[in-house]
């Protein structure tokens, strides 16, 4: 049966996952993690790609990448070959290291981007390896919340989605990351259809009508009521923080804090 063609991302951004063949561990010691990151750094420079999040687990890897000067398929092949050569030499083996094709998901909007970063950074927490995401050394998360530049992660696009103020942005990102639900599923295989501004406006008006207020009234109601309604809008409208902020005339940080 022929393989299904991969979905192209309108943003050029993809959530990528690769596994060790037969669920084999890809990393056995710190040097293995370091070598993979070194390969990733080298490929990133070669093809001018943007890396927004990563997490190296024992037998699989998550990456959030924006395509560079070549297709994402060629980039992943380049990265896979580089690490496989190292891995087979170090562990005195031959054959494939990674299991089949990498899995990919096209990132279509801001909300999906933010939730995908949260999912990637929380992988070690869900696996019971650490209590808090910042305690795991092999992710991009500490470059965000602890300001440990790793020479790999492009942190500004995600931080700017929370606030233009650096301190507020890092605080809001940390709060959002810690809100992860136990049943949040991996994004591979799940796509969020894009929503137009007009459709979002219709949804926002409908939700606000249920609450008995207008769009202009959201800024004048008591804070506790406003926070409750903003949470409802985030949950039910399907809109991005930016889209909701523009329609409601409030800041994105107000939306993310609710």
- 191 pLDDT more than 50: no
What value does the mean pLDDT of the chain take? Answer: 85
Residue that wins the pLDDT comparison between 218 and 52: 52
What pLDDT does residue 184 have? 58
pLDDT value, residue 188: 57
Can you tell me the distance from the alpha carbon of 13 to that of 193, in angstroms, rounded to the nearest whole number?
Answer: 15
**Within a 13 Å sphere around the CA of 156, how many CA atoms are in the beta-carbon half?**
2
Q: Residues 77-89: pLDDT tens digits?
A: 999 999 999 999 9
Average pLDDT over residues 218-247: 83
For the chain, percent of residues with pLDDT exceeding 90: 35
In this predicted structure, the answer to whether residue 17 has a pLDDT above a threshold of 90 is: yes
Q: Which CATH architecture has domain 13-177?
A: 2-Layer Sandwich (3.30)
Mean pLDDT of 253-258: 75
CA angle 30, 116, 66 (to 5 degrees): 80
Domain boundaries, the chain: 13-177, 197-257
pLDDT at 78: 92
Decide if pLDDT at 224 tops 80: yes
Of the pLDDT bands very low, low, confident and very high (cuts 50, 70, 90), residue 30 is very high
Cα 60 from chain centroid?
A: 16
Which residues lie below 8 Å from residue 255, measured CB to CB, with a gap of 6+? 230, 233, 234, 241, 244, 245, 248
Q: Which pLDDT tens digit goes with each residue over 36-90?
A: 999 999 999 999 999 999 999 999 999 999 988 888 899 999 999 999 999 999 9
User: Coil, helix or strand for 165?
Assistant: coil
The per-residue pLDDT for 10 is: 63
Q: Could you tell me the pTM of the whole model?
A: 0.71
Q: What is the mean pLDDT of residues 185-198?
A: 58
SS3 200: helix
Does the pLDDT of residue 252 top 90, yes or no?
A: no
Share of the chain above pLDDT 70, in %: 89
């Amino acid at each position: 049966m022929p393989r299904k063609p991969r979905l192209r991302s309108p943003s050029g951004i993809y959530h990528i996952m690769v596994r060790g063949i037969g669920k084999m561990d890809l990393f056995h010691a710190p040097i293995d993690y370091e070598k993979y990151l070194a390969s990733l750094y080298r490929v990133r420079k070669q093809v001018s790609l943007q890396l927004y999040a990563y997490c190296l687990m024992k037998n699989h890897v998550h990456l959030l990448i924006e395509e560079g000067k070549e297709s994402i398929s060629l980039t992943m092949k380049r990265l896979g070959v580089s690490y496989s050569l190292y891995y087979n030499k170090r562990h005195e083996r031959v054959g494939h290291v990674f299991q089949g094709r990498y899995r990919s998901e096209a990132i279509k909007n801001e909300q999906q981007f933010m939730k995908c970063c949260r999912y990637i950074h929380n992988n070690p927490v869900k696996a019971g390896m650490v209590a808090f995401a910042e305690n795991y050394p092999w992710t991009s998360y500490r470059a965000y919340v602890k300001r440990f530049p790793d020479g790999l992660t492009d942190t500004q696009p995600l931080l700017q989605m929370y606030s233009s103020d650096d301190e507020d942005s890092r605080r809001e990102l940390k709060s959002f990351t810690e809100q992860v639900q136990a049943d949040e599923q991996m994004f591979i295989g799940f796509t969020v259809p894009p929503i137009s501004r007009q459709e979002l406006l219709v949804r926002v008006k409908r939700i606000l009508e249920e609450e008995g207020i207008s769009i202009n009234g959201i800024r004048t109601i008591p804070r506790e009521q406003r926070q409750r309604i903003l949470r409802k809008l985030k949950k039910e409208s399907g809109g991005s923080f930016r889209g909701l902020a523009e329609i409601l005339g409030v800041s994105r940080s107000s939306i993310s804090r609710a």
